[in-house]
């Protein structure tokens, strides 16, 4: 059954996303772009993208961060995301609209050896969708974390989601992607992941279960 499933064209929708086969690409979570976000509250968007990055680091998932014209047009990363990034992580500042068209971004992804690309960006229909569609065409499996992305109107959100689905990109939310990569609540990093996702109740239940030997 498993071999037949792997040979199906849509098998990427059925095989698991794991902390060993995923890489996270964060595109243009910049102060200037956040001022135009209208489809999700700015506070929620800031929380979600920072939480996704923090959960990825807890699971040793490589994180690649890129901006556009950070010194001029769109400004620096939002402080909430910058705060969870390691000092040694280099942010790739580019000029291309599509992050996938920047050689440095593709090289950084390729060097991880991972074929599943989790993407979030501002805006959803451009900064997240364009590299997701392009990487899918190049043979990768792309996921877009919709609630760690944002855009400038309801129409842009709706058409962006439609285009992603038409291109075969997997759409999800940030917490579901993180939990899918976690896979097992007995994982030693489970408390860190749930803590990053702002789910303290899950950590508490795990602590109680351990205390009572369940």
d(CA 23, CA 18): 10
d(CA 63, CA 47): 17
200 CA to centre of own chain: 21
Confidence of residue 199 (pLDDT cuts 50, 70, 90): confident
Bridge partner residues of 23 (DSSP): 117
Is the pLDDT at 61 greater than 60, yes or no? yes
pLDDT of 100-143, one tens digit each? Answer: 999 999 999 999 999 999 999 999 999 999 999 999 999 999 99
Confidence of residue 12 (pLDDT cuts 50, 70, 90): low
Percentage of residues in the chain with pLDDT exceeding 90?
Answer: 85
What interhelical angle do 174-182 and 42-58 show, nearest 10? 10
Of 78-92, 100-114, 196-210, the one with minimum mean pLDDT is 196-210
End-to-end Cα spacing for the chain: 34
Would you identify the CATH topology of the domain 2-183? Answer: Rossmann fold (3.40.50)
**What pLDDT is attached to residue 10?**
61
Identify whether the C-beta of residue 124 lies closer than 8 Å to the C-beta of residue 151: yes
Is the pLDDT at 49 greater than 50, yes or no? yes
pLDDT of 18-35, one tens digit each? Answer: 999 999 999 999 999 999
Confidence of residue 98 (pLDDT cuts 50, 70, 90): very high
**What pLDDT is attached to residue 1?**
41
Task: Convert 89-104 to b/e letters by CB count within 10 Å (16 or more is b).
Answer: eebbbbeeebbbebee
Top pLDDT among 201 and 76 is at 76
pLDDT of 131-183, one tens digit each? Answer: 999 999 999 999 999 999 999 999 999 999 999 999 999 999 999 999 999 99
**What pLDDT is attached to residue 122?**
98
Mean residue pLDDT of the chain comes to 91
Give the residue numbers annotated as catalytic, written as ranges: 127
């Amino acid at each position: 059954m498993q071999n037949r499933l792997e040979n199906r064209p849509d098998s990427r929708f059925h095989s698991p996303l794991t902390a060993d086969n995923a890489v996270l690409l964060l595109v243009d979570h910049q102060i200037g772009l956040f001022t135009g976000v209208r489809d999700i509250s700015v506070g929620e968007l800031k929380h979600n993208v920072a939480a996704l990055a923090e959960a990825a680091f807890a699971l040793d998932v490589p994180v690649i961060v890129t901006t556009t014209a950070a010194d001029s047009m769109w400004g620096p990363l939002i402080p909430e995301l910058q705060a969870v990034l390691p000092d040694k992580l280099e942010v790739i500042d580019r000029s291309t609209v599509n992050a996938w068209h920047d050689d440095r971004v593709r090289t950084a992804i390729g060097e991880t050896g991972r074929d599943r690309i989790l993407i979030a960006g501002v805006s959803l229909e451009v900064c997240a969708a364009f590299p997701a569609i392009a990487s899918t065409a190049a043979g990768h499996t792309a996921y877009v974390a919709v609630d760690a992305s944002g855009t400038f109107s309801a129409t842009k959100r709706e058409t962006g989601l439609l285009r992603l689905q038409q291109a075969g990109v997997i759409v999800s939310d940030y917490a579901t992607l993180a939990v899918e990569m976690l896979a097992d609540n007995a994982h030693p990093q489970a408390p860190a992941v749930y803590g990053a996702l702002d789910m303290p109740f899950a950590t508490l239940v795990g602590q109680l279960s351990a205390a009572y030997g369940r």
